[in-house]
Amino acid sequence: MRGGAHHIDLTVRDLKVSHAFYETFLSYLGFVVAKVSDDIIEYELPAAPNAKIGDYQLSIGLVPARENATPHDRYSPGLHHLALRAESRADVDDFFAHLQKIGAPILDAPAEYPQYSPGYYAVFFSDPDGLKLEYVFKPAP
């Protein structure tokens, strides 16, 4: 595959709080914790069943912010939001139920967004720093 994301690192104000939050939904999506240190926490989506750590489709890292960092503002330069792909509308609905169970801040409940593309179906939520996150199903054309 050419292109595609290899890893994404997100800067967070409180590594422990963010780790607890991200682990509750990334593990639900199949990510595993690959590394925990004072400098980074890494989650990997395995490339195949029984894959070894380091053999992954995507890695998401949490990196501590500088002291006195402000909450995320997606309309300032930098990351606007992070969207992860679902395999079906039912996956989005099931994930929404999981988000409610863990008390994640919901920005927009699952809905169709035809302005993005036909059949685009997503839920939007945020992390402890206000970073907008999305879980989306987009049918093949």
pLDDT in tens, the chain (141 residues): 456 678 899 999 999 999 999 999 999 999 999 999 999 999 999 888 777 777 888 999 999 998 887 877 888 888 889 999 999 999 999 999 999 999 999 999 999 999 999 999 999 999 999 999 999 999 988
pLDDT for the residue 141: 81
121-126 and 132-137 strand pairing: antiparallel
Q: Which of 67, 85, 119 is the last residue of a domain?
A: 67
Contact 120, 136 (CB under 8 A): yes
pLDDT for the residue 2: 59
Residue 99's CB is within 10 A of a number of other CB atoms, namely: 22
Residues 122 and 96 in one domain: yes
Domain count for the chain, please give it. 2
- Domain, as residue range, for 62: 1-67
Residues 10 and 27 in one domain: yes
Residues 26 and 55 in one domain: yes
Residues 95 and 84 in one domain: yes
Q: Strand, helix or coil at 62? A: strand
pLDDT for the residue 107: 97
Contact 129, 12 (CB under 8 A): yes
Cross-strand bridge partners of residue 64: 12
Residues 74 and 139 in one domain: yes
Angle at 116 between CA 112 and CA 122, to 5 degrees: 40
